[in-house]
Structure 1
Amino acid sequence: MRPGDLAPRAHYADWARHLPARADRFIPGAFGENIVLDGLTEADVCIGDRFDLGTAQVELSQARQPCWKLNLRFDLPDMARQVQDSGRTGWYLRVLVPGRVAAGDRMVLTARPNPGWDLARVQHLLYRDATDRAALAEFARLAGLSNSWQVLARRRLDSGAVEDWTPRLSG
């Protein structure tokens, strides 16, 4: 297994209800993910969670950050912003132990080192309460957090400012 982009299956129906004129586009893989999962959303998983998936062992390193390519894929100039604002982003898994993963395999939680840091809380910090210094400092120290998000948190702490999202969201 290679590192994975994961999306909860429930998000497709949510997007189809939200954007009915484009409902036919909300199918597995529509957001560029290579793993689709039933039963978990961003509110159910935490930074650093470890899972057995097939014969592989994986770790949740960060939520996905939507980019301007979604605007093109869905023919909506603000789709990336809508995904970010909704919190329905999915997440990235890093491979700890390579193995085989197949359709129908279960993803079983084996460790949760950061139980107070579910992805819904992380997204609230990053996109709504973005300059909460105490939370950013704690966030930067989380076990299993991706290097890029450690850098992002430290940059916000050093500057006291939030980075410009326009290039990522608008291209």
Structure 2
Amino acid sequence: MTIRIDAICIGLPKPFNGAELSAIDKRPLEGKATFRSFGIEGDMVADTKHHGGIDMAVHQYPTDHYRKWYEVLGGHPLLTGPAPFGENLMVAGLREDGVLIGDRFRLGTALLEVSQPRQPCWKIEHRFGRKGMVAHILGAHNCGWYYRVVEEGEAEAGDELRKVEDGHADWSVARVFAALYDPAANPNQDELRAIAGLDRLTGKWREKARGRLKS
């Protein structure tokens, strides 16, 4: 599987909601991006409690979803600009149901590993100025995902994102997200135990599965 990167986007914290800061507003980087274990050089997070860190170093959101969002929202100017969902990688041709937890991709000289789905929060709705977007993501499973950086390196827009190793069989980003966040889903104990045992899934998500088992 080989797909080209349309843009690599970075951003710095800016005023977002009163005194609150956010780096969700990202812009394409010209030239090479350097991928470090903590993320892309020049890219920062404002809320270090819920974002960033080695397990959420790089965010990808499928550009394939933009057209559907245009229909859902009745159009929106952010959908014609860069990184409307605060994504680092703008890529077409990969979706949550076709990407496994733990899949490894070579991008330039960097090696990335899918670590978890992205849990949506209120900042998406605030950025777009539209209510109901989080609920739509929970039901449609169009959440995007994060990578950890297994091998640091460099890449630029136009480089190939090449899958080099399969992750956990049968456990796509969409399936894990649905099991733990879609209110309509009803995962059984075997499924929850399986999720808790996915060693390439981030600890926070595995712990959430264990918590569901206990309840």
Q: TM-score range by the shorter chain?
A: 0.7 to 0.9
2:209 equivalent to 1:153? yes
Q: Is the 8 A contact 2:112 2:147 kept in 1?
A: yes
Query: What's the offset of the Cα at 1:113?
Result: 3.2
31-40 vs 76-85, which moves further: 76-85
1:129 aligns with 2:185: yes
1:25 to 78, 82, 89: 78
Instruction: Tell me, in whole angstroms, the C-alpha distance in 2 between the residues paired with 1:33 and 1:45.
Output: 16
Number of equivalenced pairs: 158
2:195 counterpart of 1:139: yes
Q: Percent of aligned positions with the same letter in both sequences?
A: 37
2:130 counterpart of 1:80: no
Instruction: State the AA in 1 paired with 2:115.
Output: S
Higher strand share: 2
Unaligned 5+ runs, structure 1: 160-171
CA distance in 2, matches of 1:60, 1:130: 24
Unaligned regions of 5+ residues in structure 2, if any?
1-34, 40-56
Question: Map of 1:26-105 to 2, 5 A cutoff?
Answer: 26=79, 27-105=81-159
Runs of 4+ in 1 over 4 A off after TM superposition: none
Letter in 2 for 1:148: K
- Determine helix, strand or coil for the equivalent of 1:120: helix
RMSD in angstroms over aligned alpha carbons? 1.4
* 2:199 partner letter: A
Deviations for 1:21-62, whole angstroms, at most 9, x for unmatched residues?
Answer: 42x221331111111112110111000101111110010011
The one of 151, 172, 185 aligned to 1:118: 172
Deviations 1:65-121 (CA, angstroms, capped at 9, x unpaired): 100111111112222222222211110000000001211111111111312111222
Q: Which has the higher helix share?
A: 1
Contact in 2 for aligned 1:131/1:156 (Cα 8 Å): no
Amino acid in the other structure paired with 1:25? L
